């Protein structure tokens, strides 16, 4: 049986070059980066080189990159410290954010006297900028938290527009950019946001490492206390091999971005064309079927399948060797439906199966042909 992986928005295959770099560090650079001897200095030098490399690709200073265990920790660091230490009183977000943001905000609302405002979004999942501007007209200290690319429907937010609006209203802006770092160029001198979260495993790096971009002199304080690692922002012995892994992954992603993004985009376009031909009544959720307003890495399809047949569709795809997701991988084990799709789909479409297929450089057109044939067979029989 074929084994085909179309769940790259959940996590990606690690590049061989990344594995090689990490293995080399695990073998030879095992010192604690906080130690003053040569083994420690060697490890510390690797960390600072990685920090400088990542900062260079984002056009920021090295001191503004703080390594974390991933995007979730980076989101938590920013949101919790913004409320606790920066005295943010008002958070503006949307109901289609990742749960790393939504659940953190819910917890903060339980602990602090906060005002939480949820932006209006339309049936495509697009943020209402007029509503955002209205909500920003407040004397309260405000933080806006909106993701750059939605992990379920792929919509791309104009984060420069949001950043400019926040600046004009003296509000802070945080963006979960987990689905865009490594896939889109981000110049953070041009885009004046305050905070950003990223994770290595979304761009062919290792799991368990990511970073927060924290604009200089933000006033943010640590979430994890202990030693003075990460310039005091995150205590705990650094995972040197993972940090070198994220450096190598981001280097390979951005150095090959033009060629690789063109290839993955061609796979997405081919999938859309072939699926429309075999299943004409298919719908594409949000802007996932759009190559300009949606990311080139994923498609979220609503299939014309009766509710009684829908429940088993993911299982049937898995039996055919196809890995994909119902919404995000973070909730695929849950009996609850997608909170994102619940906000944008009508009741009839919510009864049909919606599945996210996400692509990478390791996929092929032959795999797409197989996927479309399987989907066509499952839908039409």
- Distance in angstroms (rounded) separating the CA atoms of residues 220 and 214: 8
Residue 337 confidence (pLDDT): 82
pLDDT in tens, 87-110: 999 999 999 999 999 999 999 999
| Domain edge (last residue) among 240, 255, 270 | 255
pLDDT in tens, 63-96: 999 999 999 999 999 999 999 999 999 999 999 9
Q: Span 169-192, mean pLDDT?
A: 98
CB 92 within 8 A of CB 144: yes
Residue 335 confidence (pLDDT): 54
pLDDT in tens, 259-278: 999 999 999 999 999 999 99
Residue 2 confidence (pLDDT): 81
> Does one domain contain both 205 and 241?
yes
What percent of the chain shows pLDDT beyond 70? 98
Q: Which residues of 242-260 are buried (b: 16+ CB within 10 A; e: fewer)?
A: bbbbbbbbbbbbbeeeeeb
CB 29 within 8 A of CB 247: no
CB 143 within 8 A of CB 172: yes
Residue 33 confidence (pLDDT): 96
Residue 312 confidence (pLDDT): 86
> Does one domain contain both 369 and 222?
no
Burial class (CB in 10 A: 0-12, 13-18, 19+), 128: middle
- Distance in angstroms (rounded) separating the CA atoms of residues 230 and 239: 11
Residue 243 has pLDDT above 80, yes or no: yes
Residue 308 confidence (pLDDT): 80
Domain with 129, as residue range(s), is 16-255
> Does one domain contain both 100 and 219?
yes
CATH number of the domain that residue 277 is part of: 3.90.1150.10
> Does one domain contain both 234 and 314?
no
Residue 122 confidence (pLDDT): 95
> Does one domain contain both 247 and 298?
no
> Does one domain contain both 264 and 329?
yes
Residue 339 has pLDDT above 90, yes or no: yes
CB 242 within 8 A of CB 105: no
Give Cα separations from 81 to 64, 276, 358 (angstroms).
16, 47, 33
Which distant-in-sequence residues (6+ apart) come within 8 Å of 224 by Cβ? Answer: 234, 235, 236
> Does one domain contain both 181 and 319?
no
CATH number of the domain that residue 221 is part of: 3.40.640.10
What confidence tier does 328 reach under pLDDT thresholds 50, 70, 90? Answer: very low
Give Cα separations from 109 to 79, 103, 117, 142 (angstroms).
11, 10, 11, 14
Residue 331 confidence (pLDDT): 46
pLDDT in tens, 200-214: 999 999 999 999 999
| Domain edge (last residue) among 238, 255, 272 | 255
Looking at every residue in the chain, the average pLDDT score rounds to 95
> Does one domain contain both 67 and 81?
yes
What confidence tier does 327 reach under pLDDT thresholds 50, 70, 90? Answer: low
> Does one domain contain both 234 and 221?
yes
Residue 182 has pLDDT above 50, yes or no: yes
What percent of the chain shows pLDDT beyond 90? 92
Q: Span 4-9, mean pLDDT?
A: 98
> Does one domain contain both 43 and 105?
yes
Residue 216 confidence (pLDDT): 95
Task: Please report which residue ranges of the chain form alpha helices under DSSP H.
Answer: 16-28, 38-58, 71-84, 99-111, 129-135, 159-168, 240-255, 257-278, 307-310, 313-319, 339-344, 347-350, 365-380
> Does one domain contain both 266 and 198?
no
330 catalytic residue (yes or no): yes
What confidence tier does 374 reach under pLDDT thresholds 50, 70, 90? Answer: very high
- Identify the active-site residue in 166, 302, 324, 330: 330
Q: What is this structure's pTM?
A: 0.95
Structural domain count of the chain: 2
Residue 181 confidence (pLDDT): 98
> Does one domain contain both 269 and 217?
no
What confidence tier does 306 reach under pLDDT thresholds 50, 70, 90? Answer: confident
What confidence tier does 61 reach under pLDDT thresholds 50, 70, 90? Answer: very high
295 Rama class: left (phi>0) / alpha (psi -120 to 50) / beta: beta
Q: What backbone phi and psi angles, to 5 degrees, belong to 311?
A: -60, -30
- Distance in angstroms (rounded) separating the CA atoms of residues 370 and 152: 23
Torsion on CA atoms 12, 351, 290, 194, rounded to nearest 10:
-60
Q: What backbone phi and psi angles, to 5 degrees, belong to 156?
A: -100, 125
| Domain edge (last residue) among 255, 273, 305 | 255
């Amino acid at each position: 049986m074929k084994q085909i992986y179309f769940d790259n928005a959940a996590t990606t295959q690690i590049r061989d070059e990344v594995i090689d770099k990490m293995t080399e560090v695990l073998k030879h650079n095992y010192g604690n980066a906080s130690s003053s001897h040569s083994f420690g200095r060697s490890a510390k030098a690797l960390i600072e080189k990685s920090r400088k490399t990542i900062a260079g690709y984002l056009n920021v200073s090295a001191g503004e990159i703080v390594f974390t265990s991933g995007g979730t920790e980076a989101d938590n660091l920013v949101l919790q410290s913004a409320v606790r230490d920066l005295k943010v009183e008002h958070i503006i977000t949307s109901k289609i954010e990742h749960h790393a943001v939504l659940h953190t905000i819910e917890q903060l609302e339980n602990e602090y006297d906060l005002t939480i405002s949820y932006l209006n979004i339309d049936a495509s999942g697009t943020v209402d900028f007029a509503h955002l501007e209205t909500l920003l007209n407040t004397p309260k200290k405000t933080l806006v938290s909106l993701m750059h690319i939605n992990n379920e429907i792929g919509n791309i937010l104009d984060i420069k527009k949001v950043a400019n609006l926040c600046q004009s209203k003296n509000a802070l802006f945080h963006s979960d950019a987990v689905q865009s770092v490594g896939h889109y160029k981000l110049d953070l001198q041009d885009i004046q946001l305050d905070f950003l979260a990223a994770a290595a495993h979304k761009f062919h790096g290792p799991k368990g490492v990511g970073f927060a971009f924290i604009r200089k002199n933000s006033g943010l304080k640590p979430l994890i206390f202990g030693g003075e690692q990460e310039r005091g922002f995150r205590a705990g012995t650094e995972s040197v091999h993972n940090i070198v892994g994220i450096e190598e992954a981001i280097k390979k992603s951005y150095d090959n971005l033009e060629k690789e993004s063109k290839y993955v985009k061609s796979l997405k376009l081919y999938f859309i064309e072939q699926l429309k031909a075999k299943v004409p009544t298919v719908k594409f959720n949000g802007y996932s079927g759009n190559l300009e307003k949606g990311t080139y890495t994923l498609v979220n399809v609503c299939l014309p399948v009766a509710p009684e047949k829908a429940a088993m569709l993911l299982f049937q795809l898995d039996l055919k060797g196809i890995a994909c997701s119902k919404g995000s991988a973070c909730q695929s084990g849950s009996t609850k439906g997608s909170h994102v799709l619940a906000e944008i789909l009508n009741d009839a479409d919510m009864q049909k199966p919606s599945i996210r297929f996400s692509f990478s450089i390791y996929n092929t057109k032959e795999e797409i042909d197989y996927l479309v044939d399987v989907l066509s067979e499952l839908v039409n029989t």
